[in-house]
Structure 1
Amino acid sequence: MPHLDPCFINFSNSIKHYSLPKRFTFPFYYQPHPLCELAAKELQHYLHTQQEWQHNFGLTDDKNNASGKMFGVLLVENTQKEIGYLTAFSGKLCGKYTVGHFVPSIPENEQLTSQSDEETKKEKDFYEKFDVEQVEINKLTAKLNALESNPQLPLLQNKLLAIGLAFQKELTQHQEIMAVNRKNRKEQRKNAVQALNNKGLTLLFNQLAKESVHDKNQLKALKHDWQQKIDDVQQQLNTLENEIKQLKNERQNRSSLLQNQLFQQYQLLNKDGCSKSLQDIFKPTPQQTPPSGSGDCAAPKLIQYAFKNNYNILAMAEFWWGISPKSEIRQHKNYYPACSGKCEPILNWMLTGIEQDKNPLLINTANNKKLEILYQDEAMAIVNKPHDMLSVPGKHIQDSVYTRIKQLIPSASGPIIVHRLDMSTSGLMVIALTKRAHKQLQKQFIQRDVEKRYVALLDGIIEQKTGEITLPLIGDFYNRPRQLVCYETGKHAHTTWQVIEYTKNNKTKIYLTPKTGRTHQLRVHSAHPSGLHTPIVGDDLYGTSASRLHLHAEKLTLKHPLTKKELTFQSAPCF
């Protein structure tokens, strides 16, 4: 009997020559199973050819209001033992949470019908009330926008600032006059002691005391008058600002309450049919409450639908389709892991009891690699770190440059590590062998007196020969360790670059010189559309995985911590 589920998709061609996955995908670091790649290609063909709905992915010349989207495929076995796949998108597509061809959103509010089922009726009632409350919140937002755009607000703010400056100016002038008067009175007292008798001194001192009191009273009156002017304007400003503050608090409270009620509608299943709300899933996490958009990513939607329909889940993959966001780096058609901030707590619950591939991040990839010491004296050492070795011990893996140095140079003391290289990056690191040396070397890094140069192999042709990049960076809170470009809160990051040569396979070898030392600076500056727009070969975060990340710290120039002599070290990359 053929299946009747419109979301279950049979492969277009026979898959009998494919082997099924032995375990489910570890969703936070994976290579797609061949059947998931096949499903993704079929979905990409559908996205390219479908005419059922319209969404501007930015793949044409029209970039107005364009936005790329994360899509997912889930390889499943249905109750008839057929192998097929499900598809989903993250967030909204063409303004909707539920679109034909894809599995629905977890609270299926856009697919509710007029059935008599009590649970469905309650769900419909909730969304009707939700829509009413959302309208009220939108009204508050409109009123708040009107108040914040009131021209009286900046006028009063500027007036208050101007009064404050005028008051400070007059106060300073009066205090200067008082200082001169005080100096003159002191001089008069000093001279009078020699020239006047006791009666004359008493009269003079009384007169000078009155003058001092007069100056202080004038100062008091000046402050009072100006304070009255300030209070008058401040009161008018407070009236406007308090109304804005009250509206913001009301909107925040109503939005939070509505959001919490909505999160209760997200009842997420595991393979045993047990359910948990988003609220309960996130309670044990550091943030305790679900971030906005939790449960709307492709992966939870796919797994939820599979469990609801008693499908056996086999493997999954997610890929980006369309133009990259301005803040982060997403390559068209590239595969990406599930996000850690929103999806990790959810998927940890949903995949309870499901055998998964091993987490590659728990495997010590540096186990058989040698840490080469290029230079050593009593104060410092220069080492050549191999790729895929940690600089310092990690949460799960202790093997690192730090632990290797403790073994290779037992006399080393102090913090030892002065600076770090990403685990995936190879090349030169300076090591401090004493506390004194560490302090001196670290000072050079803080003051940016150390010169570092990297060699990278970029996955494309860079036609310009030299240049510089200044894209400010900030950590992606919901997707660590990835970094975002953010002009509002990001830290200044500066890189200069120079082309070395072009290789036969249309790649560019390049020098990268960081003027600042932000996390993943060279990787983001290379891959971002506003940077070189060409990721480093093997960059599994911002480009495409390969045998290794082709980034090597090739040159290091610094001053010896004891002799102050300038030293330069070089190490050629092995790519």
Structure 2
Amino acid sequence: MIHFFKKPVSHIALPEKFTYPFHYTPHPLCVLAAEEVKEYIASRKEWQEELALGKMFGVLVVQETGKAMNETTRKETDEGYRIGYLAAFSGNLAGKNLHTYFVPPVYDLLQPQGFFKIEEEQISAINARINELENSASYLESIEKWKTETERAQAELNQAKAELKAAKEARENRRLSSTGISEEEQAALIRESQYQKAEYKRKEKEWKNRLEECEAEVNRFKDEIERLKAERKERSAALQQKLFRQFRMLNAKGEVKDLCTIFEQTVRKVPPGGAGECALPKLLQYAYFHQLKPLAMAEFWWGDSPKNEIRHHGYYYPSCKGKCEPILQHMLQGLEVDENPLLDNVHKDTKLEIVFEDEWLLVINKPAGMLSVPGKAEKIDSVYHRLKKKYPDATGPMIVHRLDMATSGLLLVAKTKEVHRHLQAQFENRKIKKRYIALLDGVMAKAEEATPQPTGKTEKTGRIELPLCLNPLDRPRQIVSEEHGKEAITEYQIITNSEECTRVAFYPLTGRTHQLRVHAAHPKGLNCPILGDELYGKKADRLYLHAEYIEFRHPVYGDIICIHKEPDF
């Protein structure tokens, strides 16, 4: 399965360490390998319709570890080690896991005579039986009969109650008549009351019995459906566990762990569906099994973006966190791997710029690449750490709102708990106005519709409303979800556009995580990611997003404060 480069690569320096898969710039060898894979994919016309829907591919640059023979001395030498690459896709392709150009899966769950397909057929048969019962005429008729009889019972019993009440009132009127009633008449009224109550009880019991019969008929179907669903759930869970035990993942030390063992150490305890079927685990497994040394990796997207997630054709993406991070933590052991660049304190010598300050609050210009508040790794520098040291007597959380680590710009900070509470209330009530400036990676379609002005600016404006929520299988990515997402609203104005990028002003009316980044990149938003956005677009020297303006009411003396700080791009 190893492919050797079509072009000479001896002039390209090999990477010193293996790629950190969750935050990387593709190595030049990976870029060359990916281009060759893209050329191959494009040549397979029979796949194009399926691939247009979108699929992740991966390349792994490897080095042969076997000894080569020197033709002159006829002795083994290390100088003959060749560099090549492996290719893989996530999931399956054209209904199969096995294709000659790509490495095989860790376990082929699609093999016809394998336990997975056999048990899957049994579970499918249960699904068919459930569907048959739920849509059977007898079941639907029994539900309708129960509903109709319940309505009839309610109507008749309500009518009977009304008649009882009317008869009771008539008896009371007779008892209170001016002429009075005899003992014999009084006894007759009592008998009448007793009879009518008994008749109501009899009717009530009759309807209860009839409804119980109707309900029993419905429950006969429901119980069978629930039994089948319970069997399906039990068999599916058992099948998943058995399947995950087949994924015996290697690492560079030669150690083996199955997916169940790997995920036992995680919060969720069990592997998510599709674990072990992504491109990079396949590539590493094949390399280790065939004694190939992994040098560098890259994964890229081919085709349209999925409905909720954001992917762009041909762009490189980091490995997913939910499915792959626990697996790769095991599989990369024994390799010398690049450090997570996000843990590098790039601003250790950077002095925070204070744009505005008084006795109660301040506004700082946060540099791109610095956290607003401490993350999981407490040792990583943050605005909070800096300000807590500078203002040791400040009370409360201090940081009123957050900017993404990669975003630069104005950040509002409170020196007291009371001021913090007051400013947060302004955010919650949408009283604080903010403006961001961004460079979008390309000419936005909506920008082409805008009318250029003599100044070179445009007056194209718009509004984006796409609800957002966290992608639990790929933190910290956000996804668009009408079902689970929270309201997210952004207004925008196109400032200028060129052949390479579009300059946009964003006015967020809500403050969701990655709101501007997703609204820019999503096909239903601007469909043009912010330049340098490696989560939703392409990596660059920085994320070109800057919070340049903030307006708020001072919590103490009530004046409107307007702060402006232009970006340096």
Task: Kindly indicate whether residue 36 of structure 2 is the aligned counterpart of residue 9 of structure 1.
Answer: no
Contact 2:109 2:117 in 1 (8 A): no
Contact 2:521 2:529 in 1 (8 A): yes
Give the corresponding residue for 1:357.
338
State the Cα distance separating 1:45 from its structure 2 match: 1.0
Aligned counterpart in structure 2 of residue 409 of structure 1, from 391, 398, 407: 391
State the Cα distance separating 1:155 from its structure 2 match: 7.4
Q: Which amino acid aligns with 1:314?
A: L
Give the corresponding residue for 1:269.
250
Structure 1 residue matching 2:316: 3-state secondary structure:
coil
Greater displacement, 129-138 / 333-342: 129-138
Q: Which amino acid aligns with 1:501?
A: T
> In the aligned structure 2, how far is the partner of 1:296 from the partner of 1:280?
17
Structure 1 residue matching 2:385: 3-state secondary structure:
helix
Unmatched segments (≥5 aa) in structure 2: 69-80, 177-190, 450-459
Residues 261 and 371 from structure 1, CA distance in 2 versus in 1: closer, same or farther, beyond 3 angstroms?
A: same
Q: Which amino acid aligns with 1:85?
A: Y
State the Cα distance separating 1:31 from its structure 2 match: 0.9
Residues 514 and 241 from structure 1, CA distance in 2 versus in 1: closer, same or farther, beyond 3 angstroms?
A: farther
Contact 2:110 2:116 in 1 (8 A): no
Greater displacement, 270-279 / 321-330: 270-279
Per-residue Cα deviation, 1:417-452 (whole angstroms, up to 9, x for no partner): 221111111122222221112222222222323222
Task: Kindly indicate whether residue 299 of structure 2 is the aligned counterpart of residue 305 of structure 1.
Answer: no
Contact 2:490 2:519 in 1 (8 A): yes
Residues 572 and 178 from structure 1, CA distance in 2 versus in 1: closer, same or farther, beyond 3 angstroms?
A: farther
State the Cα distance separating 1:172 from its structure 2 match: 11
Task: Kindly indicate whether residue 90 of structure 2 is the aligned counterpart of residue 90 of structure 1.
Answer: yes
Give the corresponding residue for 1:457.
439
Contact 2:110 2:117 in 1 (8 A): no
> In the aligned structure 2, how far is the partner of 1:259 from the partner of 1:304?
20
State the Cα distance separating 1:236 from its structure 2 match: 4.3
Task: Kindly indicate whether residue 149 of structure 2 is the aligned counterpart of residue 137 of structure 1.
Answer: no
Give the percent of matched residue pairs that are identical in Structure 1 and Structure 2: 46
Q: Which amino acid aligns with 1:488?
A: E
Contact 1:55 1:94 in 2 (8 A): no
Give the corresponding residue for 1:514.
508
> In the aligned structure 2, how far is the partner of 1:376 from the partner of 1:546?
33
CA RMSD, aligned part only? 3.8
State the Cα distance separating 1:509 from its structure 2 match: 1.2
> In the aligned structure 2, how far is the partner of 1:178 from the partner of 1:551?
76
Q: Which amino acid aligns with 1:562?
A: V
Task: Kindly indicate whether residue 8 of structure 2 is the aligned counterpart of residue 22 of structure 1.
Answer: no
Structure 2 residue matching 1:410: 3-state secondary structure:
coil
Residues 85 and 132 from structure 1, CA distance in 2 versus in 1: closer, same or farther, beyond 3 angstroms?
A: same
Greater displacement, 28-37 / 549-558: 549-558
Task: Kindly indicate whether residue 425 of structure 2 is the aligned counterpart of residue 443 of structure 1.
Answer: yes
Contact 2:438 2:503 in 1 (8 A): yes
> In the aligned structure 2, how far is the partner of 1:57 from the partner of 1:299?
21
Contact 1:91 1:97 in 2 (8 A): yes
Residues 490 and 21 from structure 1, CA distance in 2 versus in 1: closer, same or farther, beyond 3 angstroms?
A: same
Q: Which amino acid aligns with 2:300?
A: F
Q: Which amino acid aligns with 1:463?
A: E
Contact 1:388 1:424 in 2 (8 A): yes
Give the corresponding residue for 2:470.
475
Task: Kindly indicate whether residue 107 of structure 2 is the aligned counterpart of residue 107 of structure 1.
Answer: yes
> In the aligned structure 1, how far is the partner of 2:85 from the partner of 2:122?
41
> In the aligned structure 2, how far is the partner of 1:493 from the partner of 1:224?
56
Residues 398 and 9 from structure 1, CA distance in 2 versus in 1: closer, same or farther, beyond 3 angstroms?
A: closer
> In the aligned structure 2, how far is the partner of 1:228 from the partner of 1:444?
61
> In the aligned structure 2, how far is the partner of 1:412 from the partner of 1:171?
70
Give the corresponding residue for 1:545.
539
Contact 1:371 1:385 in 2 (8 A): yes
Residues 381 and 141 from structure 1, CA distance in 2 versus in 1: closer, same or farther, beyond 3 angstroms?
A: same
Task: Kindly indicate whether residue 326 of structure 2 is the aligned counterpart of residue 345 of structure 1.
Answer: yes
Contact 1:130 1:258 in 2 (8 A): yes
> In the aligned structure 2, how far is the partner of 1:286 from the partner of 1:254?
24
Per-residue Cα deviation, 1:497-517 (whole angstroms, up to 9, x for no partner): 111222x44321112122222
State the Cα distance separating 1:171 from its structure 2 match: 10
Per-residue Cα deviation, 1:181-222 (whole angstroms, up to 9, x for no partner): xxx9xxx9xxx9xxxxxxxxxxxxxxxxx9x99999999999
Aligned counterpart in structure 1 of residue 268 of structure 2, from 274, 278, 287: 287
Aligned counterpart in structure 2 of residue 490 of structure 1, from 485, 491, 499: 485
Aligned counterpart in structure 2 of residue 320 of structure 1, from 301, 308, 318: 301
Per-residue Cα deviation, 1:77-124 (whole angstroms, up to 9, x for no partner): 12242111111111011111111111111125678xxxxxxxxxxxx9
Contact 2:42 2:48 in 1 (8 A): no
> In the aligned structure 2, how far is the partner of 1:346 from the partner of 1:440?
45
Q: How high is the TM-score relative to the length of structure 2?
A: 0.83
Give the corresponding residue for 1:573.
567
State the Cα distance separating 1:235 from its structure 2 match: 4.1
Residues 109 and 329 from structure 1, CA distance in 2 versus in 1: closer, same or farther, beyond 3 angstroms?
A: closer
Q: Which amino acid aligns with 1:379?
A: W
State the Cα distance separating 1:163 from its structure 2 match: 8.6
Q: Which amino acid aligns with 1:329?
A: I
Per-residue Cα deviation, 1:141-184 (whole angstroms, up to 9, x for no partner): 111222333467677778878998999999999999999xxxx9
Residues 95 and 227 from structure 1, CA distance in 2 versus in 1: closer, same or farther, beyond 3 angstroms?
A: same
> In the aligned structure 2, how far is the partner of 1:326 from the partner of 1:289?
26
Q: Which amino acid aligns with 2:516?
A: L
State the Cα distance separating 1:484 from its structure 2 match: 1.2
> In the aligned structure 1, how far is the partner of 2:394 from the partner of 2:156?
63
Unmatched segments (≥5 aa) in structure 1: 1-6, 59-65, 112-123, 193-209
> In the aligned structure 2, how far is the partner of 1:513 from the partner of 1:223?
65
> In the aligned structure 1, how far is the partner of 2:24 from the partner of 2:385?
28
Per-residue Cα deviation, 1:303-344 (whole angstroms, up to 9, x for no partner): 111111111111111111111111111111111111111111
State the Cα distance separating 1:139 from its structure 2 match: 0.4
Give the corresponding residue for 2:452.
none
Task: Kindly indicate whether residue 548 of structure 2 is the aligned counterpart of residue 554 of structure 1.
Answer: yes
Q: How high is the TM-score relative to the length of structure 1?
A: 0.82
Give the corresponding residue for 1:385.
366
State the Cα distance separating 1:258 from its structure 2 match: 1.2
Q: Which amino acid aligns with 1:86?
A: L
State the Cα distance separating 1:527 from its structure 2 match: 0.3
Q: Which amino acid aligns with 2:374?
A: P
Contact 2:88 2:282 in 1 (8 A): yes
Residues 517 and 170 from structure 1, CA distance in 2 versus in 1: closer, same or farther, beyond 3 angstroms?
A: farther
> In the aligned structure 2, how far is the partner of 1:166 from the partner of 1:472?
45
State the Cα distance separating 1:524 from its structure 2 match: 0.6
State the Cα distance separating 1:274 from its structure 2 match: 2.4
Give the corresponding residue for 1:534.
528
Q: How does 1:148-187 map to 2 (within 5 A)?
A: 148-150=134-136
Structure 1 residue matching 2:59: 3-state secondary structure:
strand
Q: Which amino acid aligns with 1:102?
A: F
Give the corresponding residue for 1:114.
none
Q: Which amino acid aligns with 1:546?
A: A
Residues 73 and 229 from structure 1, CA distance in 2 versus in 1: closer, same or farther, beyond 3 angstroms?
A: same
> In the aligned structure 1, how far is the partner of 2:158 from the partner of 2:396?
52
Contact 2:343 2:380 in 1 (8 A): no
State the Cα distance separating 1:535 from its structure 2 match: 0.3
